[in-house]
Amino acid sequence: MKVNTLGKTNLKVSEISFGASSLGSVFKDIDENEGIQTVHRVIDSGINYIDVAPAYGGTVAETVLGKGLKGINRNKYYLSTKAGKYTNPDCYGDDTFDYTEKTIREGLEQSMKRLGVDYIDIVHLHDFDYCKGAVADKAFETGFPTLLKLKEEGLIGSVGAGIYDMELWKRVIKEAPVDAILLHNHYSLIDTRALELVDSCVEKNIGIINASPFGMGVLTPGPVVDWHPANIKERELFAEAIRYCEENGQLISQLAFQFSMQQDYFATTLFSSSNRKSVDRNIKTYNEPYDTKFVKSLQEMLADVMNKQWDFDAGSGLLPENNK
């Protein structure tokens, strides 16, 4: 599998990479043993970059990933986790945002114990665009300086960020000491705004990780998860797009994954899965050409949701106030 240098991290990451959020039952309940075997399949396939977070499933994703990595030589993979956002394991969506040095240090220590490692290649400051205002300011005031200290101490290799808000991304690239950034939902069939950030990242040699090629599940067959902010009308549009693909012998998830890998600006495109068959399918898709003409017609169908700024902080799109 082709590898690319991830900006100032100098990590040689595989062109496709693995996001472990699914191991925390974020999208659907998983079988832990299958999740562990999925991690093994990922490593065996040549994928060498894995991302996770303590917030995914309230530490469940890190725990399952740690079991999957047990006994695997540490030089076979690069690992990133996140800091600053922590989720109640008994109530998904019950989140705490804390970017103080004490909490980040304690959280990272716990993450490393769950993952079974004593060194993290990248730590991304996580979701400080949620709740806006003072939360974001705290991330800049104490969060990033803490990650720099951890880097100087040799506990982590590189400083990163993982958020969604486009305007805040511009501030991060301009002001934060990031070596790499993890963009989610900004380069896919329904959102190409990541391209707006490329020039400023190239100028500073900031590596770009392209995450969520499937739009957090809306570009895959099956129903949209309840917590996605898409309203009823938008969910119906995604269902129509899925039917359109099937009627034309296409699979929307395959097209979405192929489209996401068409830009050389991104060192790696990160997908999430909790089963081996999905990993195999994505690797197969990675090696196949895609139908550019059909993709264009599909994007025209999805024009109403193209480059939409989803409000992931507002709760489920199924809430009455969002059903417009």
- pLDDT tens for 50-108 read 999 999 988 999 999 999 999 999 999 999 999 999 987 655 567 889 999 999 999 99
Is residue 104 within 8 A of residue 83, CB to CB? The reply is yes
Going by pLDDT thresholds of 50, 70 and 90, the confidence category of residue 320 is very low
Of residues 305 and 25, the one with the higher pLDDT is 305
Instruction: Supply the CATH number for residue 266's domain.
Output: 3.20.20.100
pTM of the complete model: 0.92
- List the domain range (segments joined by +) for residue 54: 3-224+252-290
Helix, strand, coil share of the chain (percent; to 5): 45, 20, 40
Q: State the total domains in the chain.
A: 1
Give the closest residue to 172 by CA, choosing from 123, 139, 209, 213: 139
**Residue 91 vs residues 26, 96, 137: alpha-carbon distances, Å:** 12, 12, 27
Is 77 buried (19+), middle (13-18) or exposed (0-12) by CB count in 10 A? buried
Residues 237-293 pLDDT 10s = 999 999 999 999 999 999 999 999 988 899 999 999 889 999 999 999 988 888 999
Q: What is the pLDDT of residue 254?
A: 94
Give the closest residue to 172 by CA, choosing from 144, 192, 202: 144
* In a domain? residue 57: yes
* In a domain? residue 305: no
Residues 142-175 pLDDT 10s = 999 999 999 999 999 999 999 999 999 999 999 9
* In a domain? residue 295: no
Q: What is the pLDDT of residue 211?
A: 96
Q: What is the mean pLDDT of residues 29-44?
A: 93
Q: What is the mean pLDDT of residues 226-240?
A: 93
Residues 179-227 pLDDT 10s = 999 999 999 999 999 999 999 999 999 999 999 999 988 999 978 888 8
* In a domain? residue 235: no
Give the closest residue to 39 by CA, choosing from 115, 113, 117, 110: 115
Going by pLDDT thresholds of 50, 70 and 90, the confidence category of residue 319 is very low
Going by pLDDT thresholds of 50, 70 and 90, the confidence category of residue 26 is low
| Cα 66 from Cα 48, distance rounded (Å) | 15
Is residue 260 within 8 A of residue 252, CB to CB? The reply is no
Cα-Cα-Cα-Cα torsion 148, 151, 155, 160, nearest 10 degrees, comes to 70
| Cα 125 from Cα 155, distance rounded (Å) | 15
* In a domain? residue 128: yes
* In a domain? residue 273: yes
Q: What is the pLDDT of residue 258?
A: 94
* In a domain? residue 303: no
* In a domain? residue 229: no
| Cα 316 from Cα 68, distance rounded (Å) | 31
**Residue 25 vs residues 64, 84, 87: alpha-carbon distances, Å:** 10, 20, 13
- Kindly state the DSSP code that residue 142 receives in the 8-state scheme: I
Cβ partners under 8 Å of residue 177, min gap 6: 144, 147, 148, 159
Cβ partners under 8 Å of residue 300, min gap 6: none
Q: What is the pLDDT of residue 67?
A: 97
| Cα 17 from Cα 72, distance rounded (Å) | 17
Cβ partners under 8 Å of residue 145, min gap 6: 101
Cβ partners under 8 Å of residue 239, min gap 6: none
